[in-house]
Amino acid sequence: MPPENTALPETALDPHYSSEGAAARPWAEAVTLLEGAELYWLSTVRPDGRPHVTPLIGLWSDGALHFCTGPSERKARNLAAHPEVVLTTGVNTLREGFDVVVEGRAARVTDERRLIALAEAWEEKYGAEWHFGVTDGMFSNGAGGRAEVFAVTPRTAFGFAKGDPYGQTRWRFA
């Protein structure tokens, strides 16, 4: 499991993509959105270099965004070749809301205690239909399905405030 990044990121407003009077948004606001989002979009790169984007559920915990995927799914095969990813969440509107984009490296989580805690958090967030056990360093379900769990600790993140004022904030982590 990647260590939690407890230091606050370097925060900057990009004036080229921000309205006059806009201010950089605090990282805490992005974390609130990441914690509460039901759906995230994961962008990976296929072994041949083509992009792959898919919606998925996940959760923010211990300074990282977590998601899971079956070991034979396209996402897992892409990550085996190229672990650098982008995860996005927000609202699908132009004139209101706040979107967050997280860039980082997807690292497998295999520690049993950590996986148990994540499985409990998954069920708390998404309900009993998303109940997972933990077997051999993976999530497991009663039907024999297994899923690898990944954590993405942000290296760089972007926040896009939409409306009045528009603003683009960049957070860089040490």
**Which domains are present in the chain?**
21-172 (2.30.110.10)
**pLDDT at res. 152:** 98
Confidence of residue 124 (pLDDT cuts 50, 70, 90): very high
Q: pTM for the complete prediction?
A: 0.93
- Are the C-beta atoms of residues 115 and 104 closer than 8 Å to each other? no
Q: What is the mean pLDDT of residues 58-73?
A: 97
What single string gives the DSSP state of each residue in 52-76? EEEEE--EEETTEEEEEE-TTSHHH
Report phi then psi at 37, rounded to 5: -65, 140
**pLDDT > 70: what percent of the chain?**
97
Residue 105, beta-bridge partner list: 84, 153
Summarised one tens digit per residue, pLDDT across range 28-41 is: 999 999 999 999 99
Confidence of residue 1 (pLDDT cuts 50, 70, 90): very low
What single string gives the DSSP state of each residue in 4-41? P--SPPEEEE-GGGS-TT--PPPHHHHHHHHHH-S-EE
Interior/surface letters 107-135, b for 16+ CB within 10 angstroms, e for the rest: bbbeeeebbeebbeebeebeeeeeebebe
Res. 2: pLDDT tops 50: no
Summarised one tens digit per residue, pLDDT across range 126-135 is: 999 999 999 9
Q: What is the mean pLDDT of residues 128-143?
A: 93
Res. 80: pLDDT tops 60: yes
The encoded tokens of residue 9 equal: 């990121």
Confidence of residue 6 (pLDDT cuts 50, 70, 90): low
Res. 119: pLDDT tops 70: yes
